Structure 1
Amino acid sequence: MIDAYIQKKQSKSTKRKTRQAKALENARKATFLELLHEANLESLPPHVPSYLRAAVGPPSSTSRRHFCTVCGCTANYTCVRCGMRFCSCRCQNIHNDTRCLKFVA
């Protein structure tokens, strides 16, 4: 009686694989370059923007923007110990507790 119960419990815990899961197992992972080649971006007309035609604009004449190392917002302050940037007292406290590199080395 106990063996039948254990067997029934084990059969319920095992799940069947769906068709999609089987297909994903058999699918080969393509690299980014292979995906670009398969997309055939060279055949697009010249006026259509694509990944291959993306270009960087001229350098900015304004000063460089600095971002908070904790949350990613624009940062106005820097850590006195390590020089990392932060935007508020809350981010400064998080930085001091976890991210300050002065105490790591």
Structure 2
Amino acid sequence: MTRSYFSKLSIEGNCSLVFITKKQSKGTKRKTRQAKALEAKKAPRTFLELVHEANLDSLPPYVPSYLKAAVGPPSSTSCRHFCTVCGSAATYTCVRCGVRFCSGRCQNIHNDTRCLKFVA
């Protein structure tokens, strides 16, 4: 018997009886099957429900929140383009499929594994 499973072995007098008590957990509560089933039944909440539960209207006016955020006018500059392989700024595009990449190394990776223009 190992000590990790049992906390105490006690022998009473001359008797050959051995009383074994299991080690008690330190305040951790095991989940029952019913608790696990109830947890699994909880329906996912939508974003609007979460915003409503946050009660953002009760915040002071100087505190920024999702409802008070303002969107500026659309930008006249073009949007940024990212490399599909590594995620850095992309300056080149694939001739076959039009996907963007940043370097020759990323182009080779794209051509070997990701270029799907002519795949049936």
- Once the 2 structures are TM-superposed, how far is the Cα of residue 81 of structure 1 from its aligned partner? 0.7
- Once the 2 structures are TM-superposed, how far is the Cα of residue 36 of structure 1 from its aligned partner? 1.2
Q: Classify the secondary structure of the residue corresponding to 1:83.
A: coil
Of 49, 66, 69, the match for 1:34: 49
Residues in 2 aligned to 1:24 and 1:43: alpha-carbon distance in whole angstroms: 35
Task: Name the one with the larger strand percent.
Answer: 2
**2:60 aligned residue:** 45
Unaligned runs of 5+ in 1: 1-16
Of 76, 99, 109, the match for 1:94: 109
Task: Name the one with the larger helix percent.
Answer: 1
Residues in 1 aligned to 2:103 and 2:84: alpha-carbon distance in whole angstroms: 11
Residues in 1 aligned to 2:32 and 2:61: alpha-carbon distance in whole angstroms: 38
**1:79 aligned residue:** 94
**1:14 aligned residue:** none
- Of structures 1 and 2, the larger Rg is shown by 2
TM-score normalised by the chain length of structure 1: 0.66
- Once the 2 structures are TM-superposed, how far is the Cα of residue 23 of structure 1 from its aligned partner? 5.0
Which protein has greater RCO, CA pairs closer than 8 Å, 6+ apart? 1
Of 16, 19, 30, the match for 1:18: 30
1:61 alignment partner AA: S
- Percent identity among equivalent residues? 75
Residues in 2 aligned to 1:21 and 1:91: alpha-carbon distance in whole angstroms: 49
Q: Classify the secondary structure of the residue corresponding to 1:19.
A: coil
**1:62 aligned residue:** 77
- Once the 2 structures are TM-superposed, how far is the Cα of residue 19 of structure 1 from its aligned partner? 3.2
Residues in 2 aligned to 1:85 and 1:43: alpha-carbon distance in whole angstroms: 45
- Once the 2 structures are TM-superposed, how far is the Cα of residue 25 of structure 1 from its aligned partner? 4.4
